[in-house]
Amino acid sequence: MTDTDPSDATDPTDRTDTETLLVSSLEASVGKTAIALALARLASDGDSAPAAGYMKPRGTRLESNVGKTLDEDPFLARELLEFEAEVHDMEPIVYSPTFIKQVIRGREDPDELRTRVREAADTLAANCDRLFVEGAGTLDTGGIIDLTDADVAELLDARVLLVATYESADDVDPIVTAARTFGDRLAGVVFNDVSEQAYDELETDVVPFLDGRGITTYGTIPSERTLAGVTVEELADELGATTLVEDDADTYVERFTVGAMGADSALRHFRRTKNAAVITGGDRSEIHTAALEAPGVRCLVLTGGHRPSGAVIGQATERGVPVLSVQTDTLTTIERAEAVVQSGRTRTRRTVEQMESLLTEYADVDLIFETAFEK
C-alpha cells in the first residue's frame, strides 16, 4: 500500500467540473447562511438530480444543552435543496472550543484536516453542478489549521462572494482589506441588513468608491425586520420558557432590555425602546406594570421561576403582550436571549425564502452567477 502525501489533496487541478462559490463575511451573524442557501436554491434548475449543493467546512454553531455538538445548517440545507449528502461531508470539521484546544496541544494535524475538507468537497461535488460553501464567522477563523476562508477558497478552487454590512464610512476599510486577502478569487460584495439611514450614503459614495478599486457590488439589501429579529414563539422555545400569556406568538423581538431600575425610571426607559422584550425578575410587579404601559414592549420575560400577580396577567392579556416565565436568573437569561438572535439559530425555510425574494429584488443574481462561476 502506497503512502499518500496530504499535500496532494490541495491541488485543485483534479477537481470535478462542479463550480464552487465560497460565501464569506467579515463578521458573524450577517446573513451568510441565508444568502448561501438562497443563492443555492436560485441556482437550482429543477432537474431530478440537485443542481446545487451546500457545505460548511468548519461548523461553529454548537448546542451543548443536549449533550452533543450539532450544527443545524447542514440539515436545513439538505431539506431546502433536496440534497442527498452525509452531514459529515457537509460539515467535515466542528470548530468547537474543544477542537481548538486539541489543535493547540498538537493532537490535530492541519494537513490531515485539509485533506478531510478536500475529500468531503469532492464527494459533494459528485452530486451537484454548483457547490455553495459557507465561510466562517470571521476571516481569521481557522488560522491555526491553515483553513481560513482564503485558504478554503484556494483549497477548493472557489470564487468568493463577500457578505458585508454598512453603518458608517469606517466599514469600508475591512472590505478593501478583505479584497486584498482574496485577490482574484473575490467575485464581489453583497451588502446586507443596511438601515434606511445608511442606504443613500452607501449607494452614492461607497459603491462607486469600491468600483474604482475593482470591487464589484452586486446589491444592497435593506434591513428586514423579520430577518433581524426572533418571534416570541422561537424565543420561548430557545429559552425553554413557560408561556403565561400567549396572545401573538408571531410577534417579532429585535432587542432586549433589562428591568432593573425603579418604576418611574423604568417607564421612561421602556418608552424609548421599540420591538423589545423586557427581561426582569418575576417578582418585580412594578416593573411588569411599567413595561406593559410602554407601546414598544412586545414581550415580558420573567426570570427566577416567580409567577406574576393576577393583575399583571390580566393587564398583559388585555394589552396583547405575551408573557414568558423561565427558571434561570436574569443575567443568564439575558445572555441566552442575546445568543438566540446573534447566533442565527432560528433560521428556517421561511427566512431563506425571504432572502431569495430580497436577493431577487435588490441584487443582480444573474451577474453573481455569471462572474462568480466564470473560470
The packing angle between helices 32-43 and 73-81, to 10°, is: 20
Q: Return the pLDDT at 63.
A: 47
Q: Which amino acid is at 188?
A: G
Mean pLDDT of 263-290: 82
The packing angle between helices 310-319 and 285-292, to 10°, is: 10
Q: Return the pLDDT at 157.
A: 96
Cβ density class 314-345: b for 16+ within 10 Å, e for less: ebbeeeebbbbbbebebeebbebbeebbebbb
Q: Return the pLDDT at 235.
A: 87
For the chain, give the percent of residues with pLDDT over 70: 85
Q: Return the pLDDT at 237.
A: 87
Give residue 150's pLDDT band: very low, low, confident or very high (50, 70, 90).
Answer: very high
Mean pLDDT of 239-264: 78
Higher pLDDT, 229 or 295: 295
Residue 116 has pLDDT above 70, yes or no: yes
Q: Return the pLDDT at 16.
A: 56
Q: What is the pLDDT of residues 8-59, one digit of tens each?
A: 444 444 445 789 999 999 987 788 999 999 999 999 865 544 589 999 999 8
Give residue 185's pLDDT band: very low, low, confident or very high (50, 70, 90).
Answer: very high
Contact 56, 45 (CB under 8 A): no
Give residue 92's pLDDT band: very low, low, confident or very high (50, 70, 90).
Answer: very high
Higher pLDDT, 247 or 363: 363
Higher pLDDT, 113 or 337: 113
Mean pLDDT of 288-307: 89
Mean pLDDT of 90-108: 92
Show the beta-strand stretches assigned E in the chain. Answer: 19-25, 52-55, 58-59, 93-94, 130-134, 159-164, 186-194, 217-222, 230-231, 242-245, 252-253, 255-258, 276-281, 297-303, 323-325
Tell if the pTM clears 0.75, that is, is over it.
Answer: no
